Amino acid sequence: MMDLEMDFNTKLLIKKLKSNKKKHIKEFKEAIAGFKVTYQEELDKMRDYIINTLTPSLDKCPMAIYLQIPQSHEKDYDTVIEMLEYSSSEQVVLNADQFKEYVLDQWGWSGQHHASNTLYAGKGGSIGDVVKARKEVTTEDRRNRIIDKIDDWVNYNENKGDYQYSYTTGTHKAGTYKQVNVQGWGRRHRLSVTNGGKRYISISVGKGLLKFEKGEKGTAIILPDVSWEAEKEALEYLKGCIGDGDFDSAIDKLAKEAGKHLAAYRSG
């Protein structure tokens, strides 16, 4: 059958190719729309994990997105159509393989094309739709995250052997990229430090620190007793205050400032 060749009407063939091309463009646009939405969803997952994670380890955070990108083969149609339109013949000879491509629309890339369509089917829409669909974070949500953060810190201090902190160094370009795992708690995620015989407890919200009293130095609870028992008692009291909503206005203010910073970063 592969050796079979037949004459076909040039005008009808051009008409069929243009129809197939139109269908291909429609399918490609739908696949691209679905791809963009899917990509934004994956970015949101990464962003939410990094911003909202309450533990120092990023082991479970996806640091790369691997998605099949839809491809347009519009030029394949254009090439054949233009050749036929420049032809002076009313008939054109096609073999079985050419008939499958030009008439039946079964090209060598068709399998991958249809796979993309299936993968992103029903995902169409705009990135704006995805953003609008995001769950609105409430004050209660932020309150609970801080309480969870305190619980994690307490859990770490009482079960240090079970915690591992991960970070990366180097770059892929230089071939020096690697992930390092160390036992312990990430320095940036600590809730307290000791200095000068005192313990300082601070709670981060967004890109700032929660204020416990007025003044520049009001972002830390200062304990004259550096023991873990004293810190744990202070943290339990702080949890109660946060749970009762005593710091809601300060929490919302810091979250709003973090949102402005993120918006500026994206627009920049």
pLDDT value of position 182: 54
Instruction: Report in angstroms the alpha-carbon separations of 85 from 89, 95, 120.
Output: 9, 19, 35
Identify the weakest region by mean pLDDT among 84-88, 94-98, 124-128, 144-148: 124-128
216 or 196, greater pLDDT: 196
CA–CA distance, 79 with 17 (Å, rounded to integer): 11
Model pLDDT, residue 12: 93
How far from 218 is each of 131, 211, 239, CA to CA, in Å?
36, 5, 17
Q: Which residue has the higher pLDDT, 199 or 4?
A: 199
Indicate whether 205 pLDDT > 80: no
Q: Give residues with Cβ within 8 angstroms of 18, minimum separation 6.
A: 77, 81
Between the alpha carbon of residue 79 and those of residues 23, 74, 84, the distances in Å are 17, 9, 9
Lowest model confidence (mean pLDDT) among 77-91, 93-107, 133-147, 237-251: 133-147
Residue 261: pLDDT over 60: no
pLDDT at res. 128: 53
Which range, of 45-59, 64-78, 96-110, averages the lowest pLDDT?
45-59
**pTM (2 d.p.):** 0.47
d(CA 48, CA 54): 11
- Greater confidence (217 vs 39) lies with 39
235 close to 154: Cβ distance less than 8 angstroms: yes
Domain map (residue ranges) of the chain? 5-133, 139-160+189-267
Tokens 């052997």 label which residue? 161
User: Does residue 19 surpass a pLDDT of 90?
Assistant: yes
Q: What's the pLDDT score for residue 25? A: 92
Q: Residues in the chain, how many?
A: 268
Mean pLDDT over residues 14-33, rounded? 91
Compute the average pLDDT of residues 141-148. 84
Q: How confident is the model at residue 229 (pLDDT cuts 50, 70, 90)?
A: very high
Q: What is the pLDDT of residues 190-199, one digit of tens each?
A: 788 888 899 9
Indicate whether 268 pLDDT > 80: no
**pLDDT surpasses 50 at 203:** yes
In tens, the pLDDT along 245-259 reads 888 888 888 777 766
- C-alpha 24/C-alpha 17 separation (Å) is 10
User: Is residue 169 a contact partner of residue 180, using CB atoms and an 8 Å limit?
Assistant: yes
Look at residue 130 and tell me whether its pLDDT is greater than 50.
no
pLDDT, tens digit (0-9, with 9 covering 90-100), for 146-161: 888 888 888 878 876 5
